[in-house]
Amino acid sequence: MAIEIPSPPKVGMVSLGCPKALVDSERILTRLRADGYTMSPDYAGADVVLVNTCGFLDSAKEESLAAIGEAIAENGRVIVTGCMGNEADVIRARFPDVLAVTGAHQYEAVVEAVHDAAPPELSPYVDLIPQIYDEAGVKLTPRHYSYLKISEGCNHACSFCIIPSLRGKLASRRIDAVLREAEKLVQAGTRELLVISQDTSAYGVDVRHETRTWKDREVRTHMTDLARELGQLKDAQGRAPWVRLHYVYPYPHVDAVIPLMAEGLITPYLDIPFQHAAPSVLKSMKRPANEAKVLDRLHKWREICPDIAIRSSFVVGFPGETEEDFQYLLDWLDEAQLDRVGAFRFEPVEGASANHLPNPVPEEVKEERYARIMEKTAAISAAKLQAKIGRVIPVIIDEVGEPDEDGEIGATARSQADAPEIDGNVFLRNVGDVQVGDIIDVLVEDADEHDLYGALTQG
C-alpha cells in the first residue's frame, strides 16, 4: 500500500514598507520554509496569510490597515506583524478576527503564531533531516540583487520619527555573520548588494566596534571595514558584485569610504538622509548631523571620486519652516548638485514630538513648496544626465523585453547611480542575448529628467 505523504501547509505574505521590512519578510519565510511550509502566491491557496505592516507615517498605517482588511476579506485567517504590530489594540479594534499580532522583527513570535494557526504536517518520510535556516533563504527580490541588513534599530531621537519606539535602539549584527550572509548571496547569483539599516554609519557603535575573525584576519564591526570586505567578494566566475550603501549619515568617518569607491571596491553611490539644510529646521528636527561643512565635503568627495552619485530625501513643510528656510534649502541644493532627490510633505506621525511644535505649515503651502523642490531637483537631474550623453558606463540588467516586429530586443537597466525602485533607469535598445543580472558597458545616447537611453558598445 502506498504511503500518503501529507501536503505541507501554505503561507501567503503581504510585505509593506521599506527594504528593511522586506528583509524581515524574507527571514520569516525562510524560517517557515525550513519548518515545512510552502508559499502561496495568492489568498485562495493560503492556509494562513501574514501581513508585514509599516507604521512610520499615518498614511502608511492606513495602507497597512487596508492590506489587513483585504487579507481578512479574501482569506479570513490573518496574522499581523511588523512596525504597526506595536499598535495591536488599534488593529484588533478594526479587525477583531485577526489570529495574532506581533511587533517588528519578532521572528520567533510570528513563527509560533503560524504554527498555532496552521500546524506543520511533519512526515518521517520527508522530514528526517531538519533544514538549516540561514543556508538558503527565501528571497522576495529578483535573484540578481539582494538587501543586506546590517543592524536593527536607531539611537537617534529625530522629532518627526518614531522608529526607535518601533524597532528599538541600535543593535548591530556581528560583522562575520553579515559577511558570511553576503558571501552566500554572491555565490547564489547576487550581482548587487544593497546595504541597509536605520543608520549605516553607526554600524558597530553599540558593540564598541568589536573585532571578529573573518577569512583568518581580524575585522572591526565598522562601516569602513565592512565596505572594504564586501568589496573583495567574488562569485564563482571571479566577478565582484556592486556594493551600494544606503542610509549613510554624513559622520566624519564616511570620508574614509570615498577612496574605496575611487578604487572600484564599492559602488560610487551614497544614500544620505539630509532631510533639510536650514539650520533652524534641522535643530527643530533634532537631526544628528547638520549642514555645516557638508558642502565642502561633497566637493572633496567628488575630487576623490568624480563619478560618485549622491541621493537624498528632504521634508518640506516641517512645523516652523519659513519661506526663508525653504529658500535656504533650494539655494543649498543649487550648490550641492545632488544626483538623486526625493521629497516628502511633512506628515504628523502619532507619537512623534514634532506634532507638538508651533507654527504648522498650511497644507497649500506644503504643496506649493513640494512642487518647487521637485522642479528644482528635476532640473539638476536633467542637467547631470545630459552630461552623460556620449559616455560609456556600466549598467546592470533588470529586465529583458520581447523581440519587436524587427526582431530587436530592448532591456531595462540601471547605472551605478541608480538604486532599484527609487532611482532612474537606463533603457537600452537592441541588446541581443543579454541576461537579467548581467553587468555590461553601454553607450549613453540620450537622457531626460530622470532616465538614460542607450545601446551596447560595439566590439
DSSP string, 145-209: EEEEE-EE------TT--HHHHH-S-EEPPHHHHHHHHHHHHHTT--EEEEE-S-GGGTTGGGTT
Alpha carbon distance 374, 368 (integer Å): 10
> Quick one: pLDDT at residue 324?
96
Q: How confident is the model at residue 364 (pLDDT cuts 50, 70, 90)?
A: very high
* 295-303: average pLDDT: 94
Intra-chain end-to-end CA distance of the chain, in Å: 64
Percentage of residues of the chain with pLDDT beyond 90: 55
- Contact, 178 vs 132, CB < 8 A? no
> Quick one: pLDDT at residue 323?
96
Provide the residue count of the chain.
Answer: 459
Amino acid residing at 345: R
- Contact, 235 vs 187, CB < 8 A? yes
> Quick one: pLDDT at residue 88?
87
Q: How confident is the model at residue 418 (pLDDT cuts 50, 70, 90)?
A: very high
Which one of 3.30.1330.20, 3.40.50.12160, 3.30.1330.10, 3.40.1190.20 gives the CATH number of domain 10-117? 3.40.50.12160
Numbered residues of the known binding site for [4Fe-4S] cluster: 18, 54, 83, 154, 158, 161
Please list, residue by residue across 82-96, b when 16 or more beta carbons sit within 10 angstroms of its beta carbon and e when fewer do. Answer: bbbbbbeeebeeebe
Q: Which H/E stretch holds residue 245?
A: strand 242-245
Phi and psi for 370 in degrees, rounded to 5?
Answer: -60, -45
Please list, residue by residue across 252-287, b when 16 or more beta carbons sit within 10 angstroms of its beta carbon and e when fewer do. Answer: eebeebbebbbeebbbbbbbbbbbbbbeebbebbeb
Question: In this structure, what C-alpha cell is assigned to residue 297?
Answer: 565635503
Numbered residues of the known binding site: 18, 54, 83, 154, 158, 161
Alpha carbon distance 6, 36 (integer Å): 11
Annotated domain spans of the chain: 10-117, 145-386, 392-456
Q: What is the dihedral of CA 252, 200, 285, 160, to 10 degrees?
A: 180
Which one of 1.10.472.10, 1.10.3720.10, 2.40.10.10, 2.40.50.140 gives the CATH number of domain 392-456? 2.40.50.140
| CB hemisphere CA count around 117 (13 angstroms) | 27
> Quick one: pLDDT at residue 131?
38
Q: How confident is the model at residue 55 (pLDDT cuts 50, 70, 90)?
A: confident
Residue range 118-144, pLDDT digits in tens: 887 644 433 333 333 344 456 666 789
Q: 112 vs 102, 108, 189, 254, CA distance in Å? A: 10, 6, 31, 41
Question: In this structure, what C-alpha cell is assigned to residue 71?
Answer: 487579507
Instruction: List Cβ neighbours of 313 (8 Å cut-off, separation of 6 or more).
Output: 273, 274, 275, 341, 342, 343, 344
Return the bridge partners of 442, or none.
393, 456
> Quick one: pLDDT at residue 206?
93
| Closest to 245 measured CA to CA, from 203, 214, 290, 206 | 203
Higher pLDDT, 225 or 357: 225
Q: How confident is the model at residue 247 (pLDDT cuts 50, 70, 90)?
A: very high
Looking at every residue in the chain, the average pLDDT score rounds to 86
> Quick one: pLDDT at residue 123?
44
Alpha carbon distance 152, 199 (integer Å): 9
| pLDDT of 380 over the 80 cut | yes
Q: Which H/E stretch holds residue 242?
A: strand 242-245
Higher pLDDT, 30 or 339: 339
* 256-281: average pLDDT: 94
| Closest to 203 measured CA to CA, from 240, 184, 178, 181 | 178
Percentage of residues of the chain with pLDDT beyond 70: 90
Q: How confident is the model at residue 459 (pLDDT cuts 50, 70, 90)?
A: low
Return the bridge partners of 15, or none.
52
Helix (H, G, I), strand (E, B), or coil: what is residue 437?
Answer: coil
Phi and psi for 303 in degrees, rounded to 5?
Answer: -65, -40
| pLDDT of 251 over the 50 cut | yes
Q: How confident is the model at residue 257 (pLDDT cuts 50, 70, 90)?
A: very high
Identical fold, 145-386 and 392-456: no
Instruction: List Cβ neighbours of 119 (8 Å cut-off, separation of 6 or more).
Output: 9
Which range, 134-138, 355-359, 427-431, has the best average confidence (pLDDT)? Answer: 427-431
Phi and psi for 151 in degrees, rounded to 5?
Answer: -160, 165
For domain 145-386, the CATH superfamily is: tm_1862 like domain (3.80.30.20)
Burial, 71: exposed, middle or buried (Cβ in 10 Å; 0-12, 13-18, 19+)?
buried
Name the packing angle between helices 323-336 and 363-386 (round to 10°): 10
* 345-368: average pLDDT: 84
* 88-105: average pLDDT: 87
| pLDDT of 16 over the 60 cut | yes
Please list, residue by residue across 43-60, b when 16 or more beta carbons sit within 10 angstroms of its beta carbon and e when fewer do. Answer: beebbbbbbbbbbbbeeb
> Quick one: pLDDT at residue 396?
96
- Contact, 106 vs 152, CB < 8 A? no
64-73, 134-143, 194-203, 434-443: which has the minimum mean pLDDT? 134-143
Number of other CB atoms surrounding residue 154 within 10 Å: 22
| pLDDT of 415 over the 90 cut | yes
What is the reported pTM? 0.76
Q: How confident is the model at residue 36 (pLDDT cuts 50, 70, 90)?
A: confident
Residue range 152-203, pLDDT digits in tens: 888 776 776 666 666 678 899 999 999 999 999 999 889 999 999 889 999 9
Q: How confident is the model at residue 2 (pLDDT cuts 50, 70, 90)?
A: very low
